Chains A and B, each alone.
Chain A
Amino acid sequence: MAAETQIPGRADAATVVRRGSRSLFSRGLITVGAATVGLVAISWIFAPSSLTRGTLLTMLPFAAALAIASLGQTLVVMQGGIDLSVAGGLSLYVVIVTKYPAGDNGRLLAAIAIAFAAAAVAGAVNGFLIGRLRLNPIVATLGTNALLFGAVLWYTAGIPTTTTARLARIGGGLWFGIPAPVYFAVAATVLVAAVVKLTAAGRRFEGVGANAVAARTAAIRVRRHRAAAYVWAQLLYCLAGVLHAGIVNQPTAYEGNNYLLPTVAAVVLGGTSLLGGRGNLVATAIAALFLSQLDQFVLALGVTYATRTLVQAAALAVGVALYTVNWRRLARRLPRPRFATATPT
């Protein structure tokens, strides 16, 4: 126990919990909500084709899968960690739910069950390495990521399989005019946010992330909570992976790579501090929508691939700067404008 009090950065993390954390609308939610509304307005003016029904029906399923995966990443970040194994994990779950049934609808449920079991194991490995052995999350999850990709290659030899028809109907289908994955994303967001924000267990989970020392003093099992974050995260990646396999009819063996940067970006844009603590789960889900629409907006602009990449990177940099730069202090440090004395006469 004595050693555990020396967790670096934990005491500092306590100071990161911001004022007004009890308000209904967090800073992250307001910022990312406003940004999304702004993006929609900009899309409307400059690339109205990115808001047509057909485009939205394509964008929303991807946004939904990204939102679910990002919720998982948020849980990990709330514990002051980061999960780089999202790429390997999601790839593995995609290949399990496509290769195991190999076109046979009857085997789909079993495949999904196997994928979730694999997710629990992968999460437990991460949780053990980081929660128990206290390895650095970046190093540990990078290692697990390599293991998971190893499993993908072992299982498929890198060869993709076409999605089962039933799963394709779920991933690509419309329920009451809205893409089916959106319902999964909304349900997952509501459920995870409700558990974290409204239940005693959820409050303990958030408390551990905010201040491990205080949590330990209050007899909360810090290591178990920290490890659990990785397990829940993998289960959410698995749900995202299952939906992704349905959305993309011909998934490659490396689909998870498309999720590594965007999930971290969604967490950051949603205003969850990378130092851990309070998580903005709803804001994360909206940030996933923002990122997906940004993708579609830049595509609709018809600019070259190079410009597309630059615009996306710039948007991310702005988003990160919004939260991480202390603008007030920066403003104080800037030299005072001397217009009054320097006006030409």
Chain B
Amino acid sequence: MRTNKPAAPVMLALACVVVMVVTATSSARPSAKPSWCGAKKIKLGFTDGFGGNSWRLVTTASARGEAKKCPSVTSIDYADGQGNTQKAISDIQGMVAKGVDALVVFPDAGKAMLPALRSSYKAGVVTVPYRVDPGGKAGVDYNVWIDTPFAKAGEAWGKWIRRVLPKGGNVLMLSGPKGNSQGVEENKGLHKILDPSGKYKFIGEKPFEVTNWDPALTQKVLSAAIAKYSKIDVIVSDFGPSLVGALPEFTKSGRKIPALATSDGNVLGCFWRKNRAKNPTFKLFTVSTQNDHARLAIQWAVALATGGKKPATTHFPALTFEDSTTGRPHPVECRPNLPGDIYLSAELPAIVQAKLVKK
């Protein structure tokens, strides 16, 4: 009798667990399997050169979310290189040794990652680097490289500048470390659109002012530029949120914040809303920070490994996001009750991002 007594609650608990599992799996399963998801079961690996900022966090979560859309992906492994090239290389080798079938790599160290990518590819793992150019050739060193045309972002900024400043003006461009390929490419796109008119003058260091994407340095660089140039009509920057601490320099100098062409971030949108009334010249245009670039890379890796349908392109487009002058494709967005370090242009819902960042 003693043994029979607890049987009822145990059975009940078991039944509950079964019901929960069934409902969980049925709700987790997407209604329609995406076309890039083939039938073959695979293990997926995802390695990052440097995972330590909110952008990477959202990007990694986006990649996981995309992979989960395909039921053929049985497991997802993630490794963070922590800004250490040697670790990033051994992460790739570790993934291959673990027996992943497909590997998506953010090769921060660029060409230094090529030998590791090649060995993974030669070992028969579907290898898909994205965003940073690792050199090498598709089909020889890796399966396919999913790039994004940074110059297109420069072109989008240029077109907007021509629209809001039709009479021309002084353009100040800020980017990260000296000579970084993203800034160089964006600058080319910007010149391509603005130079033919002959009305726009680039001021400051060429091709761009070096800020290392460091907010403190950005502040110093911008205040030096404000003092040096009595007229700055538009600022172009590829890391919008880092300007939030620096833009008040204009107010401190008794000047109005000029037009800004940059990339999106919740903190920037909220800053714009707070300051637009006192700064009529402060028009804002943003391109997406492209957290969803990782999604395209995942789609390619999964399609090649599971036998699904390949996506139509290997280029992730530069998408415009906010325009304060037209409200298209979106008006400037701000979620004041959510952290500043989230990206409203990403597919991942803002609430989910907020939870990630606050964790």
Which residues of chain A have a CB within 8 Å of any CB of chain B?
49-50, 52-55, 57-59, 62, 102-103, 153, 157-162, 172, 244, 247-253, 255, 258, 295-296, 299-300, 302, 304-306
Contacts and interface: CB of A to CB of B under 8 A. Distances in A.
Interface stretch (B189-197, B221-229, B323-331): B221-229
Contacts of B71: none
A174 to B, nearest CB: 8
A158 B56 CA distance: 10
A302 to B, nearest CB: 6
B267 A162 contact: yes
B110 interface: no
19 contacts: A49-B227, A50-B224, A52-B227, A54-B249, A55-B226, A57-B253, A58-B220, A58-B249, A153-B52, A159-B52, A162-B341, A248-B215, A250-B242, A250-B267, A255-B216, A296-B223, A299-B220, A299-B221, A305-B210
Contacts of A172: 245, 248
B358 A55 contact: no
Nearest to B210: A305
The secondary structure that dominates the B interface is helix
Contacts of B244: 162, 249-250
Nearest 3 pairs of A and B residues by beta carbon: A158-B52, A54-B253, A249-B245
Nearest to A249: B245
B347 interface: no
The secondary structure that dominates the A interface is helix
Nearest to B229: A49
B358 A102 contact: yes
Contact of B223 (A58, A258, A304): A58
B107 interface: no
Interface in B230-244: 241-242, 244
Given A157-B52, A253-B52, A255-B216, A300 B252 contact: no
Residue of B227, B242, B254, B255 ringed by the most chain A CB atoms within 10 A: B227
A112 B340 CA distance: 21
B358 A49 contact: no
B220 A59 contact: yes
Interface of B: 51-54, 57, 178, 204-205, 210, 214-216, 219-221, 223-224, 226-228, 241-242, 244-245, 248-249, 252-255, 267, 339-341, 357-359
A248 B357 contact: no
B224 A159 contact: no
Given A161-B357, A302-B205, 20 more contacts: A49-B227, A53-B253, A53-B254, A54-B227, A55-B224, A103-B339, A157-B57, A158-B53, A159-B54, A159-B357, A160-B341, A161-B340, A244-B216, A248-B216, A250-B241, A250-B245, A255-B216, A258-B214, A299-B221, A299-B224
B53 A160 contact: yes
A23 B52 CA distance: 51
B251 to A, nearest CB: 9
A36 to B, nearest CB: 18
Contacts of A160: 53-54, 341
Given A159-B52, A159-B357, A296 B249 contact: no
Contacts of B248: 172
A300 B245 contact: no
A124 to B, nearest CB: 28
Contacts of B220: 58-59, 62, 295-296, 299
A49 B245 CA distance: 21
Contact of A159 (B57, B219, B252): B57
Contacts of A300: 224, 227-228
A317 B285 CA distance: 45
A255 B340 CA distance: 18
Contacts of B253: 52-55, 57
A55 B249 CA distance: 8
B275 to A, nearest CB: 13
B339 A305 contact: no
Nearest to B227: A49
B178 A49 contact: no
Residue of A102, A159, A300 ringed by the most chain B CB atoms within 10 A: A159
